Structure formats: structure tokens, C-alpha cells
Chains A and B, each alone.
Chain A
Amino acid sequence: MSVARARRTVLGVIVALVTACAPTVVQEATQLTPVSGKTFRLTRAVTVPLSTGYSTTLRAGTRWDLVGTVAQGEVYRTKDQIVTVEGAHIHEGFIVVSQGTMVGFYLPVERTFAPVTPAVPLSIEP
């Protein structure tokens, strides 16, 4: 086997391994305090890049209802679309908003906060 062919084989194996093993979603322990009574509508779609290499798109026109607060901000949930956070595993997520920007996801099953860096500005209306 030539050196070039061996290199291609090794590269192929590495690519296969990388695509087979996505990183896990970074999570921090947090505590949700249930709160309700606020809502907003997203006026423009926004694509949120994740540290795992995947991304999540929040659709324009979706309505979001406050379900609680965590130390990082207010937690909103929508019934208008599925929101998931993907890495090695896939987690349903609610969004965490602070001062008009989306700072991360609250993962309701894991009860953790998954940060989004940098925070993503949201275009919203009541």
C-alpha cells in the first residue's frame, strides 16, 4: 500500500469516527422556579448555533409562553414547533431569555441549563 493510500485510509477512518461520535451537549445544573403570565411572538426566524456543531432554528411567528425562571434568565416554551438541542444525544429544550437575547436552553428532563455562546438577539413583539 502506498503512503498516499495509507494516509487516505487513515483520514477516512478519522472522518468516520468523528461523524459517528458527536460531542455531548454542555450542561450546567440549575433550578427552575415556575412562573407564568408573560408571552411573546418571535417576529423573525433565528438559527442558534450549538457548541456540538449542530444548530436549532426558532421559527418566525411562533408564540412563546413563560414557564419559569432560572438563574440565567426567563424560561419560555412554545407549542408551535419542536425545539431540540442535539449533540451525542437529543434533548427537548425550552429557551432561556435575558434582556432580549437568548442565552441558552433549559432542558426540562435533565433540569439543566445549556448555554449558547455568544447570546443570540431575538426579534420579538407582545
Chain B
Amino acid sequence: MKRTVAAVLVLGAAALLSACASSGPKFSEMATSMSVSKPEMGRIYFYRTTVLGAAVQPDVRLNGEVVGKAVPHGFFYADRPAGNYQVATETEVERKLTFTLDAGQVRYVRLNISMGFFVGHVYGELVDEAKGQAEIVDMRYVGAPVPKP
């Protein structure tokens, strides 16, 4: 009986996690259709590798503007002119990440989750290009529809 209950719980958890995870095309499948449109712009990729705390999917704000959601195994991106940027996520507390963006530069922001008092805290971490490129490959697109060229 105990085994049956455990199996049901595991299956239920798996179903919940898969329901919360992303279902768009993989980064590797979209790479060719995502070139930066203008040379004076930089690009910021956002991605979340972990399904830990999968139900916690706060909005991701870039300089106050909502640009996406922190969806497990998902990624999205924003093209912006060179300048100073602040990424903010909020659950029971607000966590901020600040960084600069140069023209033509690509930044990778990994969305992590840490323990909170009642709810996990999702926060952005700036990672270097090599690590970002390696980690984002299997993430699935969860951003706005990409205009076709």
C-alpha cells in the first residue's frame, strides 16, 4: 500500500512538473531565427534550468518592463540599446540584478531559485557567455512570438 501511495505521489509530482515546464521549441532549434536585428543593440537572454519550485514563476522585469516569466526549462530574450539595466523578480521579496550592456554584446541571465520563508525566491544571476551558451541549448522558448524574417 505504501509503495502504491509513493508511486502515485511521484507520478503526480512528475505530472505537475511537466505541466509547469515549458513546451516551445528548443534554443538549438531556434538559433538561426534569432539574430540581433540592429548593430547598436545588445541582447539579453534569460533562462531557468531548474524545475525546483516549478510552481513559482514570477514575472521578469527589465528596467521596470515585464519581458517574460521565469518558467522552468524555458528561455526568452530582449534586445536593448547599450546602457544600464536592472532585472527584477519578485515573490515574497524582490531580488534585483544590475549590469551594463554594450552594443553587440550578448548577456546571459540565469534565473535561479533559493529558499524563502514561505515561497522560494527567484533571482537573476549574470553568467559568462560560455556557460550561458552551454546551459541554454536545451531550454525551450517561452517568450513572445518571434516575427518571421
By a beta-carbon cutoff of 8 Å, the part of chain A in contact with chain B is: 16-17, 19-21, 81-82, 84, 88-92, 107-110
Contact = CB atoms under 8 A, between A and B. Distances in A.
20 contacts: A16-B115, A17-B117, A19-B115, A20-B116, A20-B121, A81-B128, A82-B126, A84-B126, A89-B95, A90-B97, A90-B123, A90-B124, A90-B125, A90-B126, A91-B97, A91-B99, A92-B100, A92-B126, A108-B100, A109-B86
B117 A109 contact: no
B61 interface: no
Name B's interface SS: strand
Interface of B: 84-86, 92-93, 95-100, 114-117, 121, 123-128
Contacts of B96: 89-90
Contacts of B84: 108-109
B95 A92 contact: no
Contacts of A107: 98
Contacts of B117: 16-17, 20
Contacts, number: 50
Nearest to B98: A109
A89 B100 CA distance: 15
Nearest to B121: A20
B91 to A, nearest CB: 10
Nearest to A15: B115
